[in-house]
Amino acid sequence: MERDTLSCCISDHEGFHGTIKNSPQDFVVVEIDTHGQLVNSPNVQEELAKIPSQPSQANKRDDKLKQSKPDDTDILNQDCFDLNLILGPAMNEELEHFTNKMRANPNEMCEQEKAELSLGTYPDKHLRAVVHRAVRYNFPFLQTVTNQSEIRVREDPDFKELASLASEGEAEEFFRFIDAKVPGTVFTFLPDDSKEHRTSVHHFVSRRFGKLVETKSFTDQQKTSITVRLRERSKQSKKRTIADCQEEEVTLYTAFTLRKENLETLEAISYMAAVLGVLPSDFTYAGIKDKRAITYQAMVVKKISSEQLLDKVSEFERRGMQISHVRPVSEPLKLGRLQGNHFDLVIRDLKPHGKHGLTELQQLVKEAMENVKNRGFVNYYGPQRFGSGSCVQADQIGLALLKEEMEASVKLFFTPEDGDDLQNKAKRHFLLTGNAKESLALMPAYKARERLMLRALHRYGSGQEGCIHGWLSLPHSMRVFYLHSYCSRVWNEAAIYRLQKLGFKAVQGDLVWAGSETGLKSSTEELNAPQVHVVTSEEEKNDVFSLDQVILPMPGNSVKYPENLLGQWYQDRLAQDGLGSCRFRVTPLKLNVPGCYRPLLAKPQNITYSLRTVEEPSLSLTFDLDASCYATVCLGEIMKSNLS
């Protein structure tokens, strides 16, 4: 990170000199998953080995949930509906408590508690099918949903609607009938004299299950009832329902934890893809991690089994990568699907700024740590957002793409870094000769992105259309990365301007997040609910909002801009780069940038530190940061030093 461009800080402590990333062991990053667990935690493997494992809220539950689980072989070998056997006594008891509370006091239950309950994770898809069937048989008013291999339950809105039209008992029996799908069976509702009411029932069944069943009214002894009959198999739609749909798995996915050392995330993916014989786009991840570090992160690879992945362990280790916690899952990992990151760092070569001696270092460190703990830091995007290249950074490529300067963007993409290794030789050869075929022969096999681009350029040429094909040969996540890098650069500059011109309090025209939570918010949330609020003059006067509630937009086509000097600055800044009328869509590359909102400030959590002043002074510290916050930026605030 170049601190000369990120010059605004929140606290005025003096700080100290020091060096970071002297070795990868001095900078360890561990992803925190959505359940609040470290992805390299030993008990993660233990929990994954259990079928079912403890649910995501396990740390809030009684130790009784740790009782031994039933033998899944017994469950799979019988038509079992005994939840005590399938879930185990503790989980079954919690499920009954959840349903009793939901049915007895639906209006008193808090919204979050009422919404869902996790039953745990079930890596085996056949066992998941058993759980789905058994839960719905015992509790027809519940809807079961699979998220990766985790099963969650919530109130079924279809059941609630039918229960309001018929009786709750009829609704239960009807849903059991639907779930069983026994050919040739018929379900009959109780007699109903109201034609209007029968019509409502007909419409409900037809709308929700019309592909599976057909309904008719019949009269017997002057009483009219509705019958529901399963359609003949030849007439059934291929679309399946409820548990069948939930358990339909066409593609093979394998999840694992990746430990990498001194490698970029995308570089590691490219190498693994080459070894496994798949595309880089077959890998999904929650976030990009530092290069000059030891990092642990969750990943999912498509079309590769656990056995195939484990078979390549030795090849991965030769490139500084290790894999663990390997298990089958049902879907890819989504970008941003993490709670944050845990950092374990060492700052070496400590010395005070100015004329202070080592005797004052302890007080300087204490003051710095307390300030950042209490006040936080400016939430700049860190260096990995812009790529590690020393010559051309990713935001420059992103700008060229937004301007649809395809040939220029490809030349920037192949700009070599310092060094005379094979990949840089291949890049120089392409820029010098334009010969994609010869450059491809020089490019190392593990540089998957560059090789994909060169193959496309060799096939389609290096003109405008050929360059479009070249970019389209890369995964969508890689293409959009460059656009996001440019927008992140603008955000960083906007943060500096905001603090320099408008100060350190929320002022009129600022944007604040009006919801109860802070964090990175997508523009779609802002559009669907008016949660982005513009600070009024009266609110500024009464100090209604504080600086840590202020959010800045990352440029895009669906965000609101501040209604003060900063809003005009955004317009001028984009116009300066030739984007005054930019729609933030690159149609030829199928890219769209809606934009998002990012808090101006961030705060580290769970900070601990230890200062060593004898021999070689060093500072060891640990802390957690929310997703998309950067440790190097936090350290820059602590130390008031130039970091990279």
Residues marked active site are found at 290
Distance between CA atoms of 528 and 515, rounded to whole angstroms? 13
If we measure between CA atoms, which residue out of 426, 436, 404 comes closest to residue 581? 404
State how far the alpha carbon of 39 is from the alpha carbons of 48, 66, 267, 292, in Å. Answer: 12, 20, 20, 19
Burial of residue 324 (number of CB atoms within 10 Å: 0-12, 13-18, 19+): middle
Q: In what order do the strands lie in the sheet with 186-188?
A: 186-188, 223-230, 213-220
State how far the alpha carbon of 114 is from the alpha carbons of 93, 110, 304, in Å. Answer: 16, 6, 38
Residues written for the chain: 644
Give the orientation angle of helix 406-413 with respect to helix 448-460, to 10 degrees: 140
Rounded-to-10 torsion of CA 190, 193, 194, 199: 50
Using the structure block, give the residue that is written with the tokens 């009786």: 167
CA angle 390, 396, 397 (to 5 degrees): 100
Distance between CA atoms of 30 and 259, rounded to whole angstroms? 9
Distance between CA atoms of 136 and 50, rounded to whole angstroms? 23
| SS3 track for 292-320 | CCEEEEEEEEECCCHHHHHCCHHHHHHCC
Distance between CA atoms of 383 and 413, rounded to whole angstroms? 17
CA angle 503, 508, 512 (to 5 degrees): 85
Distance between CA atoms of 288 and 308, rounded to whole angstroms? 24
CA angle 132, 138, 142 (to 5 degrees): 60
Rounded-to-10 torsion of CA 391, 396, 400, 403: -160
The identity of residue 119, as a single letter, is L
**Three-class SS of residue 630?**
coil
Distance between CA atoms of 640 and 371, rounded to whole angstroms? 12
Burial of residue 542 (number of CB atoms within 10 Å: 0-12, 13-18, 19+): exposed
Task: Provide CB contacts within 8 A for 253, sequence distance 6+.
Answer: 300, 301, 302, 328, 329, 330, 331, 332
| SS3 track for 495-556 | HHHHHHHHCCCCCCCCEEECCCCCCCEEHHHHHHCCCEEECCHHHHHCCCCCHHHEEEEECC
Rounded-to-10 torsion of CA 217, 220, 225, 230: -60
